[in-house]
Structure 1
Amino acid sequence: MTDSEVGAVSTIVGIHGIGKRQTGRHQMAPAWRAALRDGLERATGSAVAEPPLALAFYGHLFAPAATRTGTRTSTQDATRAGTGATKGPGPDPHAWLTELDGAELEDLLAAAGEAITPEEAEAAAASPAKAYTRLPRPLQTVLRALDRRFGPSAGVLYLGALREVRRYLTDTELKERIDATVRADVSPDCRVLIGHSLGSVVAFEYVRQNPGHRLDRLVTLGSPLSLRMVRRLLPNPRYGAIRGLPVTLGSWVNIRDARDPVTCGGGLRPWWPGVDDRPPVDNQGDAHAVERYLGKRETASAVLEVLPGLAP
């Protein structure tokens, strides 16, 4: 099934997460469909057809303007977005951490405090310096503490993810462009919206801004919506909370891995009482990866409950 064929009949739409500036919908959508198909087969115990899933893609909007016009960019431009900028020889992939402005640094350090305890921070500060030595000391401490708690490179993933979430919620022009792109990509036939990572925040905003589109289910994977910084920056953080869910949602299922640093704030039910926080899954060595989430029986079951026709 081609992307255009899926788009014409898509009852499921996915919204991707962080660090996707250099890829695109046609590259990512087949991987999402394959992973969910694996999950559906695990959930049903039978072979299933490729699911009718389309992908709303906005990652290119985070890229510096120069990269969209084909002109050369500086190291600063290449790393400014915060994640997925460079690999291997060349510009330092952690350079963006040295370029945080005062407000960004304050917010990210506060968010790190939600993921680690004061004792963990003290232990990281007291340990011999072995990583992130070119960064300001407060960042060294939280990055080491996050790595100790969640695994290698977890600190960069966590702060990079939250920097993109923060930028989406504070850069009005960028947010309007992302929201418009997603709105155009979510067809009227969509019944299940799946948001991963930052995509779960974008999905929540889609629901808030489009009250005319009733969804049978919102599925959030690896969501940072439980973090104080994220909720503080939402245009309407209490949207849907009084009723338990936004009025246009039939249901909302949240799935997280307890080892996924982006979900360290916990489940979403304390903030939206109608959310169904499913038991944590185990994505093993790549706790935040969308393919790991989509391939889980738990995610597929959340889809099958409202789209039983996907089962053979």
Structure 2
Amino acid sequence: MTMIVGVHGIWNYGYYRPSRDAAVAAAAISADWTTWLHDGLAAARGKADAMPVSVAYYAHHLHRGTAQGTDVTQLDEDAQSLITDWVELLRETPVTAQGTRTIRARAAVDWLTTHYGEAARRFAMIFAKEVSSYLKAPADRRRLAARDAVAETIRTAARQDEAVTVVAHSLGSVVVYEALWAHPELRVDRLVTLGSPLGMPGVIFDRLDPAPGQRGGRPPGVSEWINLADIGDLVAVPRTGLSSSFDGIVSENPVLTIAKWDFHSVRSYLSCADVAEATWPR
């Protein structure tokens, strides 16, 4: 039997808030991922086996308060720079030629709102805040705590002496990439990254630990790496996929369509038949 480990992305602190217990939060998010992945398998094969997903929960380590509203002045300098650099990659042109960091960040989120709606503005604020919180420094306690939580969940799954598949969404792909490099003893039969920003130049790629240099590589304990991204996913930059920045990816589909409108949520990814086929053992 294959053990499936999930690694969540941003916007998951809500699982922790009611109980303030990471184990309870992990159980709740694992139940949701299991349901959504079963939906995807049912769409792909007409049935769903009762195989649970164990999600590594780390959102509480990155939480720095809940933002009220969508004004970029709520973001610190690093998060403002991150959101500006990210949107410039989406636009492929500078957001603005001059102005303070806050002015440039505000121009960036205004552009997102104009082109993708108010929901994109809210998402961008949360994305910038959580990604910045994680990437502050290689030795930052938040970063290390998140990586350790992911590594321990994978280690627990591997103790079952079964094959291990890791499914990592969004920021989760960054956390698991670093966790696997930090713990080369961990063995993963298949790594599936969904809507991954790992290759985002300047914003994430150049801040990875260990530093990838010109190109990154498949973590040492991973046998197979598959990357999937919806063609409209704003986080999966560059749009050409991760193979342009990383060696060792055996398969990827950067032109996947997981949903008509909701092109980044983990629910849409896991419920997609193509994603389920790539994730579940044959």
TM-score by length of 2: 0.82
Deviation at residue 104 of structure 1 after TM alignment:
3.2
Query: Could you tell me which residue of structure 2 aligns to residue 52 of structure 1?
Result: 52
The SS at the match of 2:199 is: coil
What is the correspondence of 1:276-295 to structure 2 with a 5 Å cutoff?
A: 276-278=251-253, 279-295=255-271
**Residue 183 in 1 paired to residue 151 in 2?**
yes
The SS at the match of 2:167 is: strand
The SS at the match of 2:13 is: coil
Matched AA of 2:263: A
Query: Could you tell me which residue of structure 2 aligns to residue 109 of structure 1?
Result: 84
Query: Could you tell me which residue of structure 2 aligns to residue 269 of structure 1?
Result: 243
Q: 1:142–1:155: 8 Å Cα contact kept in structure 2? A: no
Deviation at residue 240 of structure 1 after TM alignment:
11
Cα distance in 2 for residues equivalent to 1:239 and 1:113: 22
Query: Could you tell me which residue of structure 2 aligns to residue 142 of structure 1?
Result: 108
**Residue 173 in 1 paired to residue 141 in 2?**
yes
RMSD between aligned residues: 2.5
Deviation readout 1:225-247 (Å, 9 max, x if unpaired)? 121110111112428957x5333
Query: Could you tell me which residue of structure 2 aligns to residue 257 of structure 1?
Result: 230
Deviation readout 1:55-87 (Å, 9 max, x if unpaired)? 1111122234xxxxxxxxxxxx432xxxxxxxx
TM-score by length of 1: 0.75
Cα distance in 1 for residues equivalent to 2:109 and 2:142: 28
Query: Could you tell me which residue of structure 2 aligns to residue 195 of structure 1?
Result: 168
Cα distance in 2 for residues equivalent to 1:240 and 1:232: 9
From the two aligned structures, give the one with the greater strand fraction. Answer: 2
Q: 1:154–1:261: 8 Å Cα contact kept in structure 2? A: no
Cα distance in 1 for residues equivalent to 2:194 and 2:82: 23
Matched AA of 1:53: V
Q: 1:225–1:268: 8 Å Cα contact kept in structure 2? A: yes
Deviation at residue 173 of structure 1 after TM alignment:
0.8
Query: Could you tell me which residue of structure 2 aligns to residue 247 of structure 1?
Result: 220
Matched AA of 1:33: T
Query: Could you tell me which residue of structure 1 aligns to residue 33 of structure 2?
Result: 32
The SS at the match of 2:209 is: coil
Deviation at residue 292 of structure 1 after TM alignment:
0.4
The SS at the match of 2:126 is: helix
In the alignment, structure 2 segments of 5+ residues that lack a partner are 16-24
Cα distance in 2 for residues equivalent to 1:197 and 1:225: 8
Cα distance in 1 for residues equivalent to 2:74 and 2:136: 17
Q: 2:34–2:53: 8 Å Cα contact kept in structure 1? A: yes
**Across the two proteins, how many residue pairs are aligned to each other?**
258
Cα distance in 2 for residues equivalent to 1:150 and 1:40: 30
Matched AA of 1:179: R
Query: Could you tell me which residue of structure 1 aligns to residue 66 of structure 2?
Result: 78
In the alignment, structure 1 segments of 5+ residues that lack a partner are 1-8, 65-76, 80-91, 123-134
